[in-house]
A and B are shown apart, each in its own frame.
Chain A
């Protein structure tokens, strides 16, 4: 990849770091060409770069994490599937008249074990994104997901879902085909399946469109992933009446993995390579695969009834309220 296009993929807060890295590289080159010893100088600069790297990525704001979560090179559902599966057989179609490319799924083996994996699929570039509808699934996508999950349940295979969507597709046809009903029905049915369900937010978890494949026994998130009730942009334009306040909204909505851990929604936080999963997709895939296998071996110990009861209680507990005694009438 040429330097120019690499620069285009950079996030603004990464620029000082990349500038410094480029300076180090230039000095190294000049020194080699001219036969000058600059070891001390380089050591100093490299220490400075390491420190800066640490600083930049350890104090990211919600909106910066959102940028990483939406990074065009962030590994997608199919990238993770390719990287972690021994075998992969993609399945197509909702059996209701369509095959939504924004929601993919199929059969995979992980260390020899058969599972059904499904998830939202964003595109790599503009052309691909048009095909994938930017990872915004239609009602048919949610019905395809349900069909695959029913298959897994029937053949006693664990269900693994990858969440990565700005939200469910909002359009006339989506309304006519029942976007609300499609998501709602998945929420209900996912409580019924008797196999383990592992859900991971690999990028962006946008609202009901994310939750539509997000009811499971364990919710995992990569550290820079976000999961939100409404997009910060929409929230800002509704509550602040100003879409430009999206940064404030992102912070207020508590959308990062650490926020969700604190709220009791997230079960397991997956560390990312420094700078984000896109800096080292294979390392991220190894982390994810290991977490999936560890979880499965724990959940394998539960009977179907125990699994369902535990899943119900996991969601039953979520919420924040107080309860005061009610004055007796009369």
Chain B
């Protein structure tokens, strides 16, 4: 019996149970899948990395969850946490940018829409940047651009792979052209990383659109995506308006992009850490004696040679 049936039966038996059910969802004890509607015990769902146990739908997770899911325990060393957003244009639409920032900071506990740090994945050292959709739709302004650029520069210096988990609606309009220029800045850092011979893997999660798609999301040596993630350059509505026709259901999904050759592999979240660790391992440079070993210590400084 599925949980949904269980609830359906319970509702029949007890007229109050609907209230009870809603209360329990509100308490966070149970979580309803957006795709199939089945209720799952939240703890079970969390243990499965918020992938629906019934239909495999990938529910939204945020940067803290991602760090816990990917980094080996105790290996996460955050970078550049002190980099904070400002309001360079004095931007105000229906709300001021300052107020939007404050709200987003309060809601997420983050300073801006990305967390960056050093991590190990099954022992493989790397630099990890994780975008957070909670923070103004993961939009890319100066802080996101600066932190991702510094993270990539760090990876190049340390000689380790860089991984960026993308989740973004695109450039942050409230910082105007400064946002657009972050696309170029990050692409420049990736060019240096690539030229130095180190690996870069973006992981495209729901949603990855606009300026992020037109820059670092598409510049991977290898590109991974989560199942059914929305990935695209232009918004679906914009395209529908210009064409006045309905688009295919799978338009701009991870599967669609893979079909057209822009994604190497679609990896379920539950397999992501294992897959990334495997790919990092496969790209290690052989040591002089032919053996394979991580190039660096966790701090990213070359291992000290034995003295004497």
Contact = CB atoms under 8 A, between A and B. Distances in A.
Contacts of A177: 260
B94 A324 contact: no
Contacts of B195: 192
A311 to B, nearest CB: 8
A129 to B, nearest CB: 14
Contacts of B94: 239-241
A212 B214 CA distance: 9
B185 A180 contact: no
Interface stretch (A109-117, A148-156, A227-235): A227-235
Contact of A240 (B93, B214, B216, B251): B93
B175 interface: yes
Given A321-B143, A326-B81, A180 B149 contact: no
Interface residues of B, number: 63
Nearest to B93: A239
Contact of A172 (B85, B93, B247): B247
Contact of A181 (B176, B178, B218): B218
Interface stretch (B3-11, B26-34, B237-245): B237-245
Interface stretch (A2-10, A23-31, A80-88, A253-261): A253-261
A89 B81 CA distance: 52
Majority secondary structure, B binding face: helix
Contacts of A320: 86, 88, 142, 175, 178
B159 to A, nearest CB: 19
24 contacts: A172-B239, A172-B243, A175-B251, A178-B261, A180-B262, A187-B187, A187-B215, A188-B187, A188-B191, A211-B184, A211-B214, A228-B176, A234-B238, A235-B173, A241-B94, A254-B89, A263-B177, A311-B188, A315-B184, A315-B185, A316-B189, A319-B146, A321-B84, A326-B82
Given A168-B233, A238-B173, A318-B178, 13 more contacts: A168-B214, A170-B234, A171-B234, A171-B239, A171-B243, A179-B233, A180-B217, A184-B214, A187-B184, A188-B190, A229-B175, A318-B185, A319-B146
Top 7 A-B pairs, shortest CB-CB distance: A170-B234, A180-B213, A319-B142, A320-B88, A187-B187, A239-B93, A180-B233
